[in-house]
A and B are shown apart, each in its own frame.
Chain A
């Protein structure tokens, strides 16, 4: 927040004033800094200020002028600043490089203006004004550093601290608390409060958010977040005056997939993380900037670790993907990284039990069995959490062994990887904000990609966009029309017979989102061609706007399709003699023949381990460097935050080592070498952190589909939001969430 800087400036100023005038402390004054009392004198003293060094906007903020005529000029502490019309005084100050203290104001939420911490002095106004709620007017002279402003802040601080417990030593927010920081910077140096403090009963918000409601300062950020971003009306304010409380109106849990974000926005320790409670202090943690892999959004996260342990996961700002929020699954699944881990290579003995062996022996056994299988009986499956490097290595290795039966989980039996625009989100997540009509086909974004859903919710709230949904009955946290459950509705839309068609055809920027659950259907090509027809009729794909999207489910999917992990034949699992599962836990192991040899390479003992003959332990995404492409096709890399567990190795290294033991050595020894191999296949995976749009649009280039659509309704792709992959299934917190929060 840059408050430290502000604090030091405030301290410097006050010490200078203290030496300048010295009045006696005879009376017990309202303000502890007595100089602030005779503000006129102090104001006169601090009036003639010479040219100060140039100030830069807070946090490198940049202003965008939608209309150059609307620029107005205001003066902040004497500096002229040009800002667009409609900005608030607080925003003007931020652009002028002055960070105004605040509690209730949050740039992504509506303005409440109830904490009064952001009071500044404006010339010709009789009282200090709340800068967060006051629009800046042309020629306004704003003073942020005057005795009046300081006195106002000090007074507000004193009132806030009146009922705030002094339990910083046992508070989890300690060290990253806005109230702590700002009371150091702007508060009084002594208290006059002798009465009893108010106490409030704690609320039960579920297994994720711990509440200590006595600490609450009623900034109402959480209430506004719940209604505006999360779209649940669970939180509210009850009572008035000193009886004011935040709470759920009736005894119920906060059932939102974004509820963890209230922990971040709470400026005090009233809402803290329940799993993280009393586990660590924020200054002992090492932050690693990484990427989430539990869904296909690729939310930017910071992994806070202490030693070999991941202590918590926090969001990282990325305006294009997750803004500053993350879903509860992303935030709280990390305890799964400590459970059910595979740490040694193991071979299943004759008695059906696993025996720990050395890497040498394990690789030798795998290589020998692999040579006994016929090339077409060798099958490889990449899991939901695989990184691009290891998928590239696995594909190259299997190809060298003569097999091309390799695919990635979730992409279905016959994925269409010909055109990149056919499987990514072409509109981009940020671009969804420009849409005015959404058509969701067989996708429930709330559980499939919570951050995409938050973006749709934001658009619906901001522009009243219409949302039409085709699929099984599902939970939405914004207004939507349930058009139908299956392909029949799609046909009606394509033929223009459906009532929703008028909304779709009249839309300026229509967006059609197809769920990746449809990949698993046999008639997916027919469905896609119908969707393409709808998009064509609605003019959704045109120069400057591409509204035809696929919403993927897993972190590995987009990269797998980019790398061409497409199986040669259908149903190859049934005929496999040698099955290589690289973290694939959702393969139907029932279908695998009994005499097949199954190698499981992964980090968690999950479903597939029960069938595996050999286990090769690999590292999880927090322990390795890997490239992941998200659903909009933006490649991002994870960064190792903690060391690997036991004798585990990175995924691509295991395949590289196995290839040498099997006598089909892969030509890369380093991560950079494997990336230059990727460059020849999918160069977009190397442009990390910037999205490479798809070159062609598929609509005109796809072959004609003759097969008929199956009229069976669409199915729910994600049954349990909290448990979708091996890590989240191993997590205790996620198990509690699915027990308590899922609607039965």
Chain B
């Protein structure tokens, strides 16, 4: 797997949105196919399921859903491919993957839900830190 990804080349610019869109799907498929390897080399079995990682990849792609310029999409794809190959080549460490793709950007406090609804602003900011 790793050897095939190593030689992934990003072809010249997409001519139109259609082509760019196709390339995005191709990238998503490549990413999904490498998920078992990733799970394996970073020992992610006890922290995440493959489906979770797949949806993380999808949401990372959807973050740029508003982009309409094929050139920009190509650029983002180049970056995404680079990131993917870095991950697959084990250029990262386990905590990078967990921090970035498993735990996500909202940090470890994911239980901000029904519990805090009745609280005042003071109490909520008290829980998050001393300086407010």
Contact = CB atoms under 8 A, between A and B. Distances in A.
Q: Do A and B bind each other?
A: yes
Interface of A: 358-360, 619, 644, 648-650, 653, 656-657, 660-661, 665, 669
Contacts of B123: 657, 660-661
Contacts of A360: 115, 127
Contact of A665 (B115, B120, B130): B120
18 contacts: A358-B127, A359-B126, A360-B115, A360-B127, A619-B130, A644-B130, A649-B130, A653-B126, A653-B130, A656-B122, A657-B122, A657-B123, A657-B126, A660-B120, A660-B123, A661-B123, A665-B120, A669-B122
Given A360-B115, A650-B130, A657-B122, 5 more contacts: A360-B127, A619-B130, A644-B130, A657-B123, A669-B120
Contacts of B120: 660, 665, 669
B3 interface: no
A650 B122 CA distance: 13
A644 B131 CA distance: 9
B119 interface: yes
A379 to B, nearest CB: 24
Contacts of B115: 360
Contact of B127 (A359, A619, A648): A359
B115 to A, nearest CB: 8
Interface string B95-132: 00000000000000000000100011111001100100
B107 to A, nearest CB: 14
A660 B122 contact: yes
Interface residues of B, number: 9
Contacts of B119: 660
A196 B115 CA distance: 78
A631 to B, nearest CB: 30
Nearest to A656: B122
Contacts of A665: 120
Interface of B: 115, 119-123, 126-127, 130
A13 to B, nearest CB: 51
B126 to A, nearest CB: 4
Contacts of A669: 120-122
A360 B115 CA distance: 10
A358 B126 CA distance: 12
The 7 nearest A-B residue pairs measured at CB: A657-B126, A669-B122, A649-B130, A660-B123, A644-B130, A657-B123, A359-B127
Nearest to A358: B127
Contacts of A619: 130
A649 B120 CA distance: 17
B125 to A, nearest CB: 9
A673 B102 CA distance: 42
Contacts of B127: 358-360, 657
Nearest to B115: A360
A650 B130 CA distance: 7
Contacts of A648: 130
- Among B115, B122, B127, the most chain A Cβ lie within 10 Å of the Cβ of B122
Contacts of A358: 127
Contacts of A661: 123
A661 B123 CA distance: 9
A358 to B, nearest CB: 8
Most buried by A among B121, B122, B123, B127: B123
A590 to B, nearest CB: 34
B54 to A, nearest CB: 31
B111 to A, nearest CB: 9
A649 B126 CA distance: 8
Contacts of A660: 119-120, 122-123
A643 to B, nearest CB: 8
A648 B126 CA distance: 10
B7 to A, nearest CB: 48
Contacts of A653: 126, 130
A665 B121 CA distance: 13
A669 B130 CA distance: 13
Q: Which residue among B115, B119, B120, B126 has the maximum number of chain A CB atoms within 10 Å of its CB?
A: B126
Nearest to A654: B126
Contacts of A644: 130
Contacts of A359: 126-127
A669 B125 CA distance: 11
Contacts of A649: 126, 130
Nearest to A648: B130
Nearest to A646: B130
A545 to B, nearest CB: 47
Nearest to A669: B122
A649 B132 CA distance: 11
A522 B28 CA distance: 82
Nearest to A644: B130
A512 B41 CA distance: 80
Nearest to A665: B120
A695 to B, nearest CB: 36
A390 to B, nearest CB: 14
A48 B87 CA distance: 82
A649 B131 CA distance: 8
A586 to B, nearest CB: 26
A196 B103 CA distance: 69
A359 B123 CA distance: 10
A742 B115 CA distance: 55
Contacts of B130: 619, 644, 648-650, 653
